Each structure stands twice: as structure tokens, then as C-alpha cells.
Structure 1
Amino acid sequence: MDSSRKRRTSPTIADVAELAGVSRAIASRALSSESRPVSADKRARVLEAAEKLGFKPNLLARSLTTKTVNLIAVIVNHIHDFSDLDLFDLLIGEIQSIGKQVIFLRVGSVERVEEFLRNGVAYHVDAVLVFSDFADAAKVRKMFRNDDVLMLNGMHDGSSPSVVPDEAIGIAEAVADAASKGVATAALVTGRVSSPVEQSRIAAYKAEMRRHCIKLVAELRGDYSYASGRQVAQSDEWPSVDAVFCTSDAMAMGVMDVHRDAFPQNQPGRFKLYGFDNLSLTDFEAYPISSIGYDKKAYIGEILRFLTRPEEFTNAEAYVTVPTFFVPRTTS
């Protein structure tokens, strides 16, 4: 009975240390994802022993001593836009490079956040990254019982810092490009206007159009998705204009596919087309859409700085911006 019970018991850090001929403290340091002092010889012996025994670190037990679980929560509205895929693939890789893992929490509405709070749903995490515009900083801090919250949705308060692209720079360059090519009338295809980021984006487009004397003929509502771009492009409200500005590349792709005849050899015929996000797909011949982008590595670098050196986000640097830029392609 005793031997059977022993065979069913998972190996412990003490078993690894005994087999490697080191102390438990040395074994723990050798297996840590963080950079901790231990000789190369002892580390190799510990890793070999752990592999031989099939030892898996107990993250919960480790969290009791280190006060961390190496988990980062990422709160999103959804993950179906092309821009989500471009960004989150890079983000996950960079977070894993610092020895942490990501858990995604999909929040489709304000009510969903309230439901999490009512039901007491909380995760023990080291920090929270908030992309969803349905979640404000105070609710997120309460939900996770954690003050290490970074707002990436344009919403922030005095207790949680924020990192956002400075979209006005790229928008100014894109509208100036259109004006320099004789554009006098334009349509704007927008995303969800309840988003603070989208409100700011729309305001920037309108301000630049006024500055360059471009008449905004129509403002059509989408939801950032390819399908919504197709839908507005097929609607009876579709205007005759010199240029169409879309607040996401995915919507611009939908517009382009509906009006392919307006882009012979991908050159603008009836109207010029501008997107937003500078998706990787726009570098290929299927969708060579002029777009507005930002340095995603720099953006993610600021996120990693928050995760590794949160003390640097003082009150004076609580609102961090990453510049955007215009990328001309054949559709303009």
C-alpha cells in the first residue's frame, strides 16, 4: 500500500534536490524562470534530475513564497479582427520571453464586467492589461484585487497608467496626402463610436479634413471587421467621393473587395482608399492599402516596461504615447 501510494505521488522539489545532490534552495533557483544565481554545473544537474523524475513546478506553491504566479491577464472585447491577430501574436511571445504566461478574458459588454464582479470571478495574476473599452480601471482593480493595471483602451485614471498610439500624427499625414492629390470630398467609415479611442480617432480625421478643406460627405458606421466594411460598401448610402478613409484596415479590405472595379491594377479609379492599422496583409498585392501604423515593437516594449519595471510609471509618466505614421501604398 505504501509503495503504491508513493508511486502515485508526484515528485517534489525535495526529490529533485536529493537526486541532484543540492539543497532545496539551489534546486528552486535553478528551476526558476527568473534570473537567479546558481552555478552552471548545479543548474545542469537540477534540470537533468527534474527531467528524469518528470517534475513539474507547482506555480501555486511558488506564488506563496515569491508573491507572483507569472500570469498576466489580458482583457479584450473579442479576438476576431486582423489587427488583434497581428498585435497579440507579438505580445504573447514577448510576455513569454520574460517568463510569464497570458490568460485572455473576453468581455463583450459592460454587463459582462458587472457579471464577473457580481459572481466574484477573480484570477490571481501579477498584472492586468486592459484592451477592452467596456472595462474601466477601477472595476478591473476591484475584479482582480490588484493595483498593477495598465490601460490600453484610452481610458485611465490617476491610479492606473495608460499606453496608447498617438494617432493624430498618422491621421494628419494621411489626410495631407489626400489633399496633395486633389481630394476635395471624402467619406469616413468608422468603428464602434462608444470607444474612447475611436471617438478621438474620428475627431482627428474631421479636424484634419477641415484644415485641408476636404468636405466630409458621409460618415458610415462599421465595427472594424471586414464584414462590416463590405456591408457599408454595398449599402444604398454609399456616396460618390474622391477618397474613403476607414478606421481599420479590415473594413478597408471589405470596401476594396466590393469595389474592385474601382481599383484597376490596384490603382485608384473612382476614389482613393485609406485604412488604419498597417496590417501585415497590406504589404501584399491582394490588399495594398495605404494605411496608418505604429511601431508595434515599441508599443509592446512600453507594455513590457510596465510589467518588469512598474515603478517607472510615475504620475508624470502615467500617460505614455507611441507615435503613428502614414504608410502610402497603391490605393491612394
Structure 2
Amino acid sequence: MDSSRKRRTSPTIADVAELAGVSRAIASRALSSESRPVSADKRARVLEAADKLGFKPNLLARSLTTKTVNLIAVIVNHIHDFSDLDLFDLLISDIQSIGKQVIFLRVGSVERIEEFLRNGVAYHVDAALVFSDFADAESVRKMFRSDDVLMLNGMHDGSSPSVVPDEATGIAGAVADAASKGVATAALVTGRVSSPVEQQRIANYKAEMAKRGIRLVAELRGDYSYQSGRHVALSPEWPTTDAVFCTSDAMAMGIMDVHRDAFPGNRPERFRLYGFDNLSLTDFEAYPISSIGYDKKTYVGEILRFLATPEQFGNGHAEVTVPTFFVARATS
């Protein structure tokens, strides 16, 4: 092979091994993301050779022998909420820490799932994490031709397990806080009610309000986003009430910005405001919103446990719950 042709082709593992002065097997072990036996000197030589040649491992070729590609699919409706950023930054970091990479698949509607199946679109991945409430477990298993599917949208079945926050405790704490401060009437600003998680969240709020003697005077629809919170707050249907509970912090932020005059010095004057997600932004003075959260490290830890040992999520362990808690801040 002449030098001009060699420059036009991608370097191979054989090229790396030759430059490093080691066997192909040693070069492969040195470049593996898994802990495999190779001396520090040889590993350093291989890494230096790979860097010099611009060598990139072929994950699909490696999968023929390892049966893995170290890719994890994350299926979402979209990524535009602040809660997405808080969670996914941590999730991607922790997945990468175990030598795997993430690919995102944005669904957006039930029709997209059907389209993917109809057109035979599939990805070669080690596992799929499903956040989208447009995706059911059976469809995802068909799409990826894999049983290693973890449902994070409350829609697990007998073959695909689930990890979800147990929201009842946190919601009970928020409503109890409002009742202790004399709240008699409240509005609830919700997200997409087609979501099973949202349906349960709304049911929990209503049950706790009834238990505490708080009358629900309005139920307003948003989509979890900051923009929808502003839209709701500016609508003619905006009620006069003692408290507003939102099923996302982002919507609560939009409401707070429209009604800043109701929070002089960030303290509630006309109504108390509660969010949901316990976003990192709520720890700062711009949006000190009382909220409901869960330990995201624990939540992501359960996801990582599934990726490492999916067999532990078998029969009898189909649903893993992570407890939630109420965090009181200035707006309540």
C-alpha cells in the first residue's frame, strides 16, 4: 500500500499495535474501557500511538467479540425543561464513569414510536432508559431488539422494570405546610395529563388537599415549561386563591415572574407558591420556590445498578421507588 492511499484510510488497531511495538491483542486491551490486564508501559505506548495516528475504536466491530457496544439509549419526549438539565447532566456523567456513552432519542409523540417501528429504525445499544411517556415498554423492546429496557415513566410491565420517585410523601409535606399557614383555597397548575406519572401526581395533590380541608378552586394546564407557567399566569382564568401548587418548578418560575409584585422581598403577599422538582436554581435568591424533590444521586444510582446488574430487577423487583421530600423556601 503506497503512502498516499494509507493517508486516505482510517488507522486500524493493527496500525496502532505496529507503531507501539506490541501485539494487536495488547493494543486492544490497552484501549478497552474495561479494566483488562496490560502493563503501564505498554498501555502508555499504545495510547500515545493511538493519539498520534488519530485512531478511534470501532464500537460496532468490538461488539462482535464483546457482545456490547457501551452505548445506552435515553428516550425522551424533548429536552427543554430545567429539570431535564439538572437530571441529565448527572445521569450522563455517571454513565460515562462506567465506560459507557449516551445517545438521546427524541420521540415527541406516540406516532414517532410507530414510525420508528414501521420503518425498522433500530439502534445497537446495550440498554434503553425510557423517560418519554409516549413510549411503552413493549414497543421499546421491539425497537432495540433488547430486553434490557428500564422504564422511568411509570409504564413498566412484567418484562421491563421501573425506577420512579415515590411522590406521595413530598406532596403530603407541601400541602401540610400550606394548611399550617392557613391556606383554605388553592389552584393546581399541571403538566401533560396523559402521562401516568402526572396523573398520579395530580391524584396525590387532590387527596392531600381534601385531607387537609383545602378547597381546589382551579386546575390550570401547562406543559412543565417556564413559558407555560407565564402563559397560565397571564390568562383570564387566573384565580384569586391562597396558594398555587405547580407540578414543575419551571412553571412556578414563570408564574413568579409574572406576579413578582405578589412576592415583595420574595415573600408571599397575595398567595403562596409551591413547585415540584427541587431544581438547583431554587437554592438561589432569584427563585427561592418551596418545592418537592428527591435525591437525584440515589435515583441515578438505581439506574446505574440496572445497567450493571439488570437481573436484580427481575421478578419481584419490577418497580423501585425513590422517596421524595418537601423543601420549604421563601415563597411559601
Q: TM-score normalised to the size of structure 2?
A: 0.97
Counterpart of 2:174 in structure 1 is 174
Counterpart of 2:10 in structure 1 is 10
Residues 1:60 and 2:60 are matched in the alignment: yes
**What is the letter of the counterpart of residue 327 of structure 1?**
V
| Structure 1 position 8, deviation (Å) | 2.5
| Structure 1 position 57, deviation (Å) | 1.1
**1-structure distance, mates of 2:39, 2:81:** 46
Counterpart of 1:80 in structure 2 is 80
The correspondence of residues 28-107 of structure 1 with structure 2, limited to 5 A, is: 28-107=28-107
| Structure 1 position 18, deviation (Å) | 2.5
- The 3 A distance-change label for structure 1 pair 232 and 7 is closer
The correspondence of residues 134-145 of structure 1 with structure 2, limited to 5 A, is: 134-145=134-145
Please provide the CA RMSD for this pair: 1.2
Q: TM-score normalised to the size of structure 1?
A: 0.97
Is the deviation greater in 296-305 or in 308-317? 308-317
Q: Indicate the SS of the match to 2:147.
A: coil
**2-structure distance, mates of 1:231, 1:9:** 55
Counterpart of 2:122 in structure 1 is 122
**1-structure distance, mates of 2:239, 2:130:** 36
**What is the letter of the counterpart of residue 60 of structure 1?**
L
CA deviations 1:237-258 (Å, max 9, x no partner) are: 1111111100000111111111
Q: Indicate the SS of the match to 1:324.
A: strand
| Structure 1 position 314, deviation (Å) | 2.1
Residues 1:156 and 2:156 are matched in the alignment: yes
Q: Tell me, which stretches of 5 or more residues in structure 1 are unaligned?
A: none
**1-structure distance, mates of 2:185, 2:302:** 38
CA deviations 1:296-327 (Å, max 9, x no partner) are: 11111111111112122121222001111101
Counterpart of 1:187 in structure 2 is 187
CA deviations 1:167-189 (Å, max 9, x no partner) are: 11100110111111111111101
**1-structure distance, mates of 2:23, 2:239:** 74
**2-structure distance, mates of 1:8, 1:255:** 57
Counterpart of 1:209 in structure 2 is 209
Counterpart of 1:325 in structure 2 is 325
**What is the letter of the counterpart of residue 188 of structure 1?**
L
CA deviations 1:103-148 (Å, max 9, x no partner) are: 1111111011101111111111111010000000000000111111
**What is the letter of the counterpart of residue 191 of structure 1?**
G
**2-structure distance, mates of 1:8, 1:183:** 72
Query: Which 4+ stretches in 1 moved above 3 angstroms?
Result: none
**What is the letter of the counterpart of residue 218 of structure 2?**
A
**1-structure distance, mates of 2:206, 2:20:** 67
| Structure 1 position 6, deviation (Å) | 2.8
| Structure 1 position 261, deviation (Å) | 1.1
**2-structure distance, mates of 1:168, 1:202:** 10
The correspondence of residues 259-270 of structure 1 with structure 2, limited to 5 A, is: 259-270=259-270
| Structure 1 position 27, deviation (Å) | 1.2
**2-structure distance, mates of 1:107, 1:247:** 22
**2-structure distance, mates of 1:55, 1:238:** 59
**1-structure distance, mates of 2:3, 2:17:** 21
Identical columns (%) = 88
**What is the letter of the counterpart of residue 91 of structure 1?**
L
**2-structure distance, mates of 1:232, 1:8:** 58
**2-structure distance, mates of 1:54, 1:73:** 26
Counterpart of 1:235 in structure 2 is 235
How many aligned residue pairs are there? Answer: 332
**2-structure distance, mates of 1:256, 1:197:** 25
**1-structure distance, mates of 2:155, 2:114:** 17
**2-structure distance, mates of 1:134, 1:268:** 37
